[in-house]
Amino acid sequence: MSNKIKVGIIGGAGYTGGETIRLLINHPQVELVFVHSRSNAGNPLYEAHPDLEGDTDLKFTDSLQHKVDVIFLCLGHGESKKFLQDNPIDASISVIDLSQDFRLGESLPGREFVYGLPELNREAIKKSKNVANPGCFATAIQLGLLPLAKSNALKEVFATGITGSTGAGQKLQDTTHFTWRANNISAYKTLTHQHLKEINRSLKQLQPAFAAPINFIPWRGDFTRGIFVSSVITTDRSLEELKKLYQDFYAGHPFAVVTDGTVDLKQVVNTNKCLIGLEKEGDKVVVHTAIDNLLKGASGQAVQNMNLMFGLEETTGVRLKSIVF
Amino acid sequence: MSNKIKVGIIGGAGYTGGETIRLLINHPQVELVFVHSRSNAGNPLYEAHPDLEGDTDLKFTDSLQHKVDVIFLCLGHGESKKFLQDNPIDASISVIDLSQDFRLGESLPGREFVYGLPELNREAIKKSKNVANPGCFATAIQLGLLPLAKSNALKEVFATGITGSTGAGQKLQDTTHFTWRANNISAYKTLTHQHLKEINRSLKQLQPAFAAPINFIPWRGDFTRGIFVSSVITTDRSLEELKKLYQDFYAGHPFAVVTDGTVDLKQVVNTNKCLIGLEKEGDKVVVHTAIDNLLKGASGQAVQNMNLMFGLEETTGVRLKSIVF
Amino acid sequence: MSNKIKVGIIGGAGYTGGETIRLLINHPQVELVFVHSRSNAGNPLYEAHPDLEGDTDLKFTDSLQHKVDVIFLCLGHGESKKFLQDNPIDASISVIDLSQDFRLGESLPGREFVYGLPELNREAIKKSKNVANPGCFATAIQLGLLPLAKSNALKEVFATGITGSTGAGQKLQDTTHFTWRANNISAYKTLTHQHLKEINRSLKQLQPAFAAPINFIPWRGDFTRGIFVSSVITTDRSLEELKKLYQDFYAGHPFAVVTDGTVDLKQVVNTNKCLIGLEKEGDKVVVHTAIDNLLKGASGQAVQNMNLMFGLEETTGVRLKSIVF
Amino acid sequence: MSNKIKVGIIGGAGYTGGETIRLLINHPQVELVFVHSRSNAGNPLYEAHPDLEGDTDLKFTDSLQHKVDVIFLCLGHGESKKFLQDNPIDASISVIDLSQDFRLGESLPGREFVYGLPELNREAIKKSKNVANPGCFATAIQLGLLPLAKSNALKEVFATGITGSTGAGQKLQDTTHFTWRANNISAYKTLTHQHLKEINRSLKQLQPAFAAPINFIPWRGDFTRGIFVSSVITTDRSLEELKKLYQDFYAGHPFAVVTDGTVDLKQVVNTNKCLIGLEKEGDKVVVHTAIDNLLKGASGQAVQNMNLMFGLEETTGVRLKSIVF
């Protein structure tokens, strides 16, 4: 066990904290040293995450332990920055932040963050000690657009996406009341979703002149896990050219799967994969992408980033059995 | 409109209040005079019940109007009694209470309540001015057992029932969080459900010597509306005898349907019906019953009772289109 | 009963046939004379539609009865035309066809069809003896666009819609297998849905010069009933102007509800309403519309049309209690 | 890779075949040599199991390869026996059969089968070359009753269980039509489920005099994966005694988790665990058990058995991340 990666988790009682725990307790190259949660300190992890009963007897702690190699920050937006400011973490410890606090180039003294989308920034991530893990919708949308941006072919985008209830977090609220959400569909944050900023930033990294709008309508779906997005873009390239573009772009990226088949959401639920499908009609290409919002959209991608940062095979511990059905 | 039944609703912002409104605004013999809700006073009904937008412009009020023929109490348990004690209601006004406050024979000065299960007490309901509307599980279980009790054949019962999330009410709580409840099943109040008291009371009304336990396990289902119960009883009667017993008992009762087909929950969702099916194997009879917990298990039955109390045809305004699918 | 509308249904065993039955047996001005189904002839309706047990003892017939005022054709696409050609129906009998056979101006000798969208063609429907009932997606999309077309403001449309499984009909198929569809989302007929033709036809009726594409992506949803569509259009009109445009257009149309609140699908499920909501951001307006695909999208609209054709109040028998939850 | 277990799968296109593939491609001690399917021969596995795209490029074959250590038979009931009779398999190759063909002590010349419930027969499984994998309901019910049988305390059982749609297999049928099954509950095979035979056999292995009936009512649930069972038994033992009985019985069995918390189905979905909870009221104990029907109820248990047969740690490759939400 001596040369395993020693990991600490901050904010282990929430959804992304729980998923990170679930991945790391089965990760062959990780020793999960501590899970920090002020409100749950002293309780076994399985009190907050009952499915872990029988899997681990580890308890939450409220004291930071510093003999770790990397810390995952599974905190609410705004809290990660505050945590790092309030709690001096040794410079030798890597940080993977799952909040949105450092996704737009923000930094702290001694801590420059790389935007942790491996399909865009793999080499930078490998060299980085600080990674800002992308947002869930941001991941699904970007992976559907990056190859077009890479070839300077991206124009105005019309995208509709649907997300599971876990995207709304753990807190009880009207829009996650079962009675309301079951069999229901509704729109929210129409054209104003906060992830548009990080999406635009990534697209401009590849196509600096890109200035057209991403018109994005998010919907709330009546399922718990997953994001499905269909994006429409005007282009004169043929479907074959486009498929080649996408296949070339994602060659060697194990979790971005360009399929000739149909994309359905459940193919990726409980996995770290992003499934990408293309259709063309007239001068419009439609790109469908699907991810699990808690895995490729959060904790799975965070572990993928950890693997890259520590020189492991990218897929270690994140080749997961899908729910399929 | 002059000879319509004038109705007031107390507690109109909750689930049973909302369902009662939905039934009464389409009831051909009813004038809905007022809907009382302290917290929503002044707002249109459709602010609390958005599906009513376009159907009615009526507003909630916080003042009691007394020129009505009947009041529906759609309040929490314990609140109905308090309401009647605190607010003097003219003796000429009938009361239909949807709480459990008067189901076990409780009364107030000048107000004796009849237990409002029409298939058991139709004649008494017709003559009564005060009706205690039964509980949802109580309705589903009793309708599966009453014919056996009528013929003194009821013995120990083993029943399992499953209920939709609306049974847990409007309040946000952990067990109605979509993320938790979707695709989930769990048990609660095992062998101790509060409806057992009213069930026992009804059964003894027909089979006074009945003293065996009703072993009832309620489950939380991953759907919003409906109750399905399977009850097992030991009996030496043949399936044919049993079917005749049930058919005879429910002859002339329009909402209790004894079927030779299979019972599936959705056949009754959004209706006021109770579907009853019988199977026999060895010396055990299994009775399956299904109702909509908010209709036959609450507001629908309350309107059925109103119809009886006011001499209308029992089904007026409660012949409803099922959701079917 | 003498002056009730006498109705026959052809193809009564399918989804739209069943829904039409459910509406007509409770319609106060209708006598349901016969329900035709070759494969079910002689069986009670409730063998094909078990939820109708206890509601009606009517049986399917395979012989056409001609003493009716109107016939509803609830047949598959292509079969309505064939049925009318093979079975001479007296010219005095009105026809309401739920298939797509006559939606684009097709006619038969002696039978000219009006496109049965009451919010577009109410006066023509009132005078017509033959109505082609619109498609489900077509209804939801048009009702979101007609006011813009009326004021010559419609430009290229980007729409995404999601439909319940009943939209795929009764036949067992891979995409309606519960195991596959539960918790799943997928796209189909991307940019090529067959309803685009009737949509374009209606839009040009109001805005003859309209020639821009309707880019429409349909999704399969993991629920049974309902359609939700979000459409994006570029416009320089303000949100206030747009709301007024929509409110004016739909004034006096009882089932088209322009709301200032949020649109969520379940508000309309099991009703004949179309809920319409508008949002504006920059130069883009987003119109959300929601309907029940089997009611406003099929059988409910058909009965609404019948009411208009026979001089009844438009809402008779189609003011329905929503499922709400 | 030389000393990995070499595995072949027969019947790889169905649900249990697919799940077995999903487990084995990530199993650190397994080399999946071939997947046999006559109808899919030559196609990549991901054509039948689209979620596997990007995970494996292996193709189905219709020729048996004999250089394997163990064969999983993922065939329909009746087909396993026929397969072994028609296809001579070298005596050195172990067989794990997921059908019901050998669960009641049936054997073939040279092949004696052990009933593969590790919590009952672990030592025998370790020594066996042929294992009959238990049924899904059988697993869930037995694990709730074995400790009572072990202490000769089992009496008549009243059990209700609910199963996901995957329990009904891959074939399209009326009861797995999404439109019917969503939000629905129904009973089937009341008191006559075929798994009762293997359950009785196991119980008598521990309590030879046990002759009371297991009254079992299976329900179809509106979810895809999982089984939840509540069993009621009369006993004079205290809850504390009972808990100790269960904890002792399952000590050292990693997948049978006796919990003091509540049992909810999703805690085990997509895992190989069985969660067991006890409640006592009067003289009745209620045992709740939950499993994933395709894992602990089929493929997961099969791999658990393989681990035991080949001397591996029992949990290798079957410590799975639950779906949780």
The pLDDT of residue C320: 98
Count other Cβ atoms within 10 Å, centred on residue C239.
Answer: 12
Measured in degrees and rounded to the nearest 5, phi and psi for residue C274 equal: -115, 120
Query: In this structure, are residues A289 and A263 in contact, taking their beta carbons and an 8 Å threshold?
Result: yes
Listed in sequence order, the residues at least 6 apart from C82 whose beta carbon sits closer than 8 Å to its beta carbon are: none
| DSSP string across C166-229 | GGG-SS--GGGBHHHHTT--EE-STTT-TTHHHHHHHHHHHSTT----EEEEEEE-SSSS-EEE
Q: How far is C130 from chain B (nearest CA, A)?
A: 27
Q: What is the pLDDT of residue D65?
A: 82
**Which residues 243-272 of D have a C-beta within 8 angstroms of A?**
254-255, 257, 259, 261-262, 264, 266-271
Most D-contacting residue of B165, B183, B269 (CB-CB within 10 A), to test interface: B183
pLDDT 10s digits, B131-165:
999 999 999 999 999 999 999 999 999 999 999 99
pLDDT for B222-247, tens place per residue? 999 999 999 999 999 999 999 999 99
Q: In sequence order, what are the beta bridge partners of A132?
A: A97, A115
Q: Write out chain B residues lying below 8 Å of D262, CB-based.
A: 186-187
Distance CA B82, CA C42 (A): 56
A308: tokens are 């890259």
Beta-bridge partner residues of C66: none
Q: What domains can you pick out in chain C, each with its CATH number?
A: 5-133+299-309 (3.40.50.720), 136-291 (3.30.360.10)
- Taking contacts as CB-CB distances below 8 angstroms, the residues of chain A near D26 are 319-321
- Give chain C positions within 8 Å (CB) of D182: 165, 178, 182, 222-224
Helical ranges in chain A per DSSP H? 15-24, 45-48, 79-86, 118-127, 136-150, 178-181, 196-206, 239-250, 299-309
Local structure of B43: helix, strand or coil: coil
DSSP state of B44: B
Looking up tokens 């209804």 gives C139
Q: What is the pLDDT of residues A194-207, one digit of tens each?
A: 999 999 999 999 99
Q: Chain A contacts of C226, Cβ < 8 Å?
A: 183, 185
Dist. CA B140–CA C202, nearest whole Å: 49
Are C321 and B257 a contacting pair at CB < 8 A? no
Chain D residues with CB under 8 Å of B290 CB are 185
D233–chain A nearest CA distance, Å: 26
Would you state the structure tokens that stand for residue A117, as one six-digit string? 């989308």
What pLDDT sits at residue D1? 45
Contacts of C240 (CB under 8 A, 6+ apart): none
**Can you tell me the mean pLDDT for A280-292?**
98
Is D222 within 8 Å of chain A by CB?
A: no
Both tokens of residue B105? Answer: 């024979």
Give the model's confidence band at D196: pLDDT under 50 very low, under 70 low, under 90 confident, else very high. very high
Q: Which residues contact A210 (CB under 8 A, 6 or more apart)?
A: A149, A154, A200, A203, A204
CA distances from A218 to A194, A230, A267, C229 (A): 11, 11, 21, 12
Burial class from Cβ neighbours inside 10 Å (0-12, 13-18, 19+) for residue A311 reads: exposed
Chain A residue with the nearest C-alpha to that of D323: A270
pLDDT in tens, C2-59: 589 999 999 999 999 999 999 999 999 999 999 999 999 999 999 999 999 999 999 9
CB nearest to C51's CB, from B28, B55, B267: B267
From its phi and psi, is residue D218 left (phi > 0), alpha (psi between -120 and 50) or beta?
Answer: beta
From A151's Cα to the closest Cα of chain B, the distance in A is 40
Q: What is the pLDDT of residue A66?
A: 77
Give phi and psi for A186, each to the nearest 5: -155, 160
Query: In terms of Cα–Cα distance, which of B65, B34, B60 is closest to B49?
Result: B60
Query: What percentage of chain C carries pLDDT values higher than 70?
Result: 99
Cβ of C230 within 8 Å of Cβ of A217? The answer is yes
- Environment class of residue A3 by beta-carbon count within 10 Å: exposed (0-12), middle (13-18) or buried (19+)? exposed
pLDDT at A65: 81
pLDDT digits (tens, 9 = 90+) for D42-82: 999 999 999 999 999 999 999 998 799 999 999 999 999 99
Residue C237 C-beta-side C-alpha neighbours within 13 Å: 21
The interface residues of chain C toward chain D in range 127-166, judged by CB-CB distance below 8 A, are 165-166
What is the amino acid identity at position A310? Answer: F
Q: Is C289 on the interface with D (CB under 8 A)?
A: no
Maximum C-alpha span of chain C: 61
Does position C1 have pLDDT exceeding 50, yes or no? no
* pLDDT tens by residue, D19-37: 999 999 999 999 999 999 9
**Quick check: is D136 catalytic?**
yes
Contact A248, A258 (CB under 8 A): no
Residue of B nearest to C251 (CA): B54
Instruction: Give tens-digit pLDDT for C123-167.
Output: 999 999 999 999 999 999 999 999 999 999 999 999 999 999 999
Q: Which of B173, B171, B168 is nearest to B189 (CA)?
A: B168
Residue type at position A22: R
C: neighbours with 3+ CB pairs under 8 Å? A, B, D
